[in-house]
Amino acid sequence: MAHTESNQSLNADYRLFDPVERTGTAFYLVVATLLAVAGWGFYAWTRQLEEGLCVTGLNRPVYWGFYITNFVFFIGISHAGTLISAILRLCHAEWRRSITRAAEVITVLVLFFGVGNIIMDLGRTDRLLNVVLHGQFRSPLLWDVTSVSIYLTASSIYLYLPLIPDIAMLRDRGMKFKWLYRMLALGWSGTESQHRILNRAISIMAIAVIPIAISVHTVVSWVFAMTVQPMWHSTIFGPYFVAGAIFSGIAALIIAMALIRKAYHLEAYLKPIHFNHLGTLLFVMTLLWFYFTFAEHLTSYYGAEPAHMAVFWMKVSGKFAWAFWTMVVTCFVIPFVILCNRWTRTVSGTVIASVSITIGMWLERFTIVVPTLANPRLPYEKGIYHPTWVEVSITAGCVAAFILLYILFTKLFPIVSIWEVQEGRERALADAEERIRVYLPSEDVRLQETTP
């Protein structure tokens, strides 16, 4: 009886293969549009390679602009996946099952664009390998190279491991790319011992990936905090950046889930309850973000060192006030209002909050990078920064290319982990019941207490 039931549910879950196996015209239209934007961005990059960084709006003293902002932003987004999925897995949060993969894919793919922006920022892209050949380990940039490489490796493994049973299912259905799926399935046949090994490997990676993820964004913040420049040289930067990364990561995940839900009609798998739970998490991060931002700016303001104040006023009431106050509204006011109650913490509510946060967090990175450089310690060299079409195009191209890769992933692999959803149906209920029983006082204890 139980067997037939699970078979029925298995058949129902087969609709998760639909995006992989069926493709409509809308897909080609979207791909063509994204390709066009990404191609334009690539063209802009070739112009920059040809003529040098003079095609950007960068100057002295604003040596860093859009690219470094994008770098910090994209690496931040990458915390969506691996970190959130790892924490949810380790906490046995059962509602994670249909969202972990969507999160993990963001991590792996967006990392390429984080790294890509650093590479595009280099004056001598051709000498990139010097970082490996002549690495100087006192430089926080090299710490970055190290931790991002480890993170990319670990999160790729962490994405791949839970994919194996699903790839095996794709192999067995034998539709397209059979050779690819056979190779990637590593001979998975779903035996009890294979499951045991896989679950163990996933647990190990879930634990390993958390400190790695935290180290990555801490080190990204240290690129700034290790210098003596005003409002960069701050001890709060490590945790501030990590919190901001998780914040923007969750927001990106909610947007991705909503798009997948809409495009592939997965309302049955990505339910309002998932958005509600993630929305609660996002609300906590909203408060945390506000706390960090407030603490950081109040400390600078109260101390009132002239070098810091120059940066402070440029952010609060000067040339970058538009960016700063938009950031406050989009990162705090809007998400706070939407997420603080369950009536607006709906699918569309959380999506609006997430889009707002994504814009706000980009602006946060921007207002960290540029105003400090525009107000150097020696206060006579003031700078201002206006990005050019090249920087805007490359930024748009990166976003488009990221979405494109994400869509292509959903066309190759199921974006909702099928075997984990099934495991949830078949085993998790009993597991959860067992777990809850362990928390409660046992029957004999209660008996002993009641007897005089």
Partner 1 sequence: MPKWGMVIDLDKCTGCQACVVACKTENNIPFSTPEQAEMGRTISWIEIIPIMEGEYPRPKLRYLPRPCLQCDHPPCIKVCPVYATYRNPEGLVGQVYSRCIGCRYCTAACPYTAKYFNWSAPTWAKEFEPCLNPDVSKRPKGVVEKCTFCHHRLQKAKEKVKAEGRELKDEDYVPACVQTCPAGAMYFGDLDNPNSKVTQQTKSPRAFRLLEELGTEPKVIYLTEGEWHGAYRK
Q: By CB under 8 A, what part of segment 156-215 binds partner 1?
A: none
Give whichever of 138 and 437 is closer to partner 1, judged by the CB atom: 138
Q: What is the DSSP letter of 175?
A: -
Q: Is the CB of 303 or the CB of 306 nearer to partner 1?
A: 306
Among 190, 211, 303, 379, binds partner 1 (CB under 8 A): 379
- Least separation in angstroms between CB 388 and partner 1: 10
114, 335, 376, 424: residue in contact with partner 1 (rule CB under 8 A): 376
**Which one, 75 or 250, has the nearer CB to partner 1?**
75
Using CB under 8 A as the binding rule, whether residue 139 contacts partner 1 is answered as yes
Site string for partner 1, 31-70 (x = CB under 8 A): --------------------xxxx--xxxxxxxx------
By beta-carbon proximity to partner 1, the closer residue of 64 and 73 is 64
Q: Based on the number of CB atoms within 10 Å of its own CB, is 136 exposed (0-12), middle (13-18) or buried (19 or more)?
A: exposed
Of 134, 174, 437, 449, the one binding partner 1 (CB under 8 A) is 134
| Residue 131 touches partner 1, criterion: CB under 8 A | yes
Among 30-38, 98-106, 138-146, 337-345, the segment contacting partner 1 (CB under 8 A): 138-146
Q: Kindly tell me which of 272 and 318 has the beta carbon lying closer to partner 1.
A: 318
124 binds partner 1 (CB under 8 A): yes
Sign of the C-alpha dihedral computed for residues 120, 123, 125 and 128 taken in this order = negative
Residue 452: CB partners within 8 Å, gap ≥ 6?
A: none
383 binds partner 1 (CB under 8 A): yes
CB nearer to partner 1: pick between 1 and 378: 378
Residue 61: asked if its preceding bond is cis (omega within 30°), the reply is yes
Segment near partner 1 (CB under 8 A), from 91-99, 135-143, 168-176, 428-436? 135-143
* Stretch of 239-247, 291-299, 327-335, 377-385 contacting partner 1, by CB under 8 A: 377-385
Angle between helices 81-90 and 192-225 (to 10 degrees): 130
Total binding residues toward partner 1, as defined by CB under 8 A: 44
Helix (H), strand (E) at residue 125: none
Burial profile 349-369: b = 16 or more Cβ within 10 angstroms, e = fewer: bbbbbbbbbbbbbbbbbbbbb
111, 152 in Cβ contact below 8 A?
yes
Instruction: Please state the closest distance from residue 212 (CB atom) to partner 1, in A.
Output: 20
Spell out the residues 6+ positions from residue 373 whose beta carbon is closer than 8 angstroms to its own: 61, 62, 63, 64, 229, 383, 385
Distance of alpha carbon 63 from alpha carbon 4, whole angstroms: 65
Contact between 304 and partner 1 by CB under 8 A: the answer reads no
Query: Of 45 and 181, which has the nearer Cβ to partner 1?
Result: 45
Place of tokens 């998490």: 281
Report the alpha-carbon distance of residue 273 to residue 374 in Å, rounded.
Answer: 45
The single residue among 306, 322, 337, 342 that binds partner 1, judged by CB under 8 A, is 306
**Does residue 239 interact with partner 1 by CB under 8 A?**
no
Q: Which residues contact 71 (CB under 8 A, 6 or more apart)?
A: 114, 115, 117, 118, 121, 220
438 binds partner 1 (CB under 8 A): no
Q: Which residues contact 248 (CB under 8 A, 6 or more apart)?
A: 73, 76, 77, 79, 80, 357, 358, 361
| Among 150, 201, 208, 226, contact with partner 1 (rule: CB under 8 A) | 226
Task: Return all residues near 400 (Cβ < 8 A) that are at least 6 apart.
Answer: 33, 34, 35, 37, 38, 41
**Pairwise CA distance, residues 360 & 245, whole Å:** 12
Determine, following the binding rule CB under 8 A, whether residue 381 of this chain makes contact with partner 1.
Answer: yes
**x/- contact string, 140-159, with partner 1 (CB under 8 A)?**
xxx--x--------------
Identify which of residues 62 and 102 has a Cβ nearer to partner 1 in the complex.
Answer: 62
Among the listed residues 105, 109, 116, the one whose alpha carbon sits nearest the alpha carbon of residue 82: 105
Task: Answer yes or no: are the C-beta atoms of 314 and 374 closer than 8 Å.
Answer: yes
Residues that bind partner 1 (CB under 8 A): 51-54, 57-64, 118, 121-124, 127-128, 130-131, 134-136, 138-142, 145, 223, 226-229, 306, 373, 376-381, 383
